[in-house]
Amino acid sequence: MKKILYALLTLVLGLVLSSSGCSTTVDPFDPGIYDEGVTINGVKWATRNVDAVGKFAANAGSAGMFYQWNIKKAWPATGPITGTWPTTPAGGTTWAASNDPCPDSWRVPTKAECESLVAATVTKTWGTSHGKNGHWFGTASEPYLLFLPVTGYRWETVLYEEVDRGTYWSSTGTGEPGDAPTMDFQYPNYFLKHSSAHKACGLPVRCVKK
């Protein structure tokens, strides 16, 4: 009898939740939204690029999708695009929270956080992950903590592929039209300290924990 009553209660609860718009099938550890991250110099970095808005890419070697600075719209990192590519850059001195494409509890890193990753990382090693070239960042005891793949970039319908250079957005802006600071690395172990890209370019995003 107790088993029957429990089954009935479970069924009723499921119907109530379903009719109220609630879902009992959402997995809080969905790999598209969940990432444990790795901490380097006090900043926790996601281990994968952003794919669609609010989602991480499938693995560390994936480019994910491309974003224009301070615009919450994902563009494909391969193949053609659909829709009209905005050529007018967004304004502002920082990437607005309302336009942040990172999953919940994550955000686009600041210029200072990007610089701290490069400056404080003891080991920076060119290598591969999931068949993609890129740079590993780590410490003396753990040299392979964080991988950033080479992804290329996009300008309107043109996709510029790269095999030895990666460029990632920071959330820092100048407040003026034109360029915004980026994190830029190149084979074999070269990092541009004052790199930037035009805000209307499509680049990958690697999030940090809020």
Residues 6+ apart with CB under 8 A from 32: 51, 55, 56, 103
Q: pLDDT value at position 177?
A: 79
Q: What mean pLDDT comes out for the span 3-20?
A: 37
pLDDT of residue 143: 83
* pLDDT value at residue 68: 97
What would the pLDDT profile of 51-107 be if each residue is shown by its tens digit?
A: 999 999 999 999 999 999 999 999 999 999 989 999 999 988 999 999 999 999 999
Q: How confident is the model at residue 18 (pLDDT cuts 50, 70, 90)?
A: very low
**Model's pTM, two decimal places?**
0.84
Residue corresponding to tokens 């290598």? 127
Q: Print burial letters for 91-114: b (CB count within 10 Å at least 16), e (below 16).
A: ebeebeeebbbbbeebbbbbbebb
Amino acid type, 98: S
Q: What is the pLDDT of residues 166-177, one digit of tens each?
A: 999 999 998 777
pLDDT exceeds 80 at position 198: yes
The whole-number average pLDDT for the span 174-201 is: 85
Give 82 or 190, the one with higher predicted confidence: 82
pLDDT score of 36: 94
Question: For position 122, what pLDDT does the model report?
Answer: 61
pLDDT at residue 16 above 50? no
Percent of the chain beyond pLDDT 70? Answer: 84
Domain boundaries, given as residue ranges, for the chain: 28-209
In the predicted model, what is the mean pLDDT of residues 161-184?
A: 90
Residue-wise burial string across 166-181, b where 16 or more C-beta atoms lie within 10 A, e elsewhere: bbbbbbbbeeeeebbb
Band the pLDDT of 190: cuts 50, 70, 90.
confident
Q: How far is CA 122 from CA 47, 156, 200, in A?
A: 18, 37, 33
Helix (H) or strand (E) holding 155: strand 153-155
Q: What Å distances lie between residue 64 and 4, 100, 183, 188, CA to CA?
A: 48, 15, 17, 23
Better-predicted residue by pLDDT, 52 or 28: 52
Cα 208 to Cα 128: distance, rounded to the nearest angstrom: 22
Looking at every residue in the chain, the average pLDDT score rounds to 85
pLDDT in tens, 124-154: 788 999 999 999 988 878 888 999 999 999 9
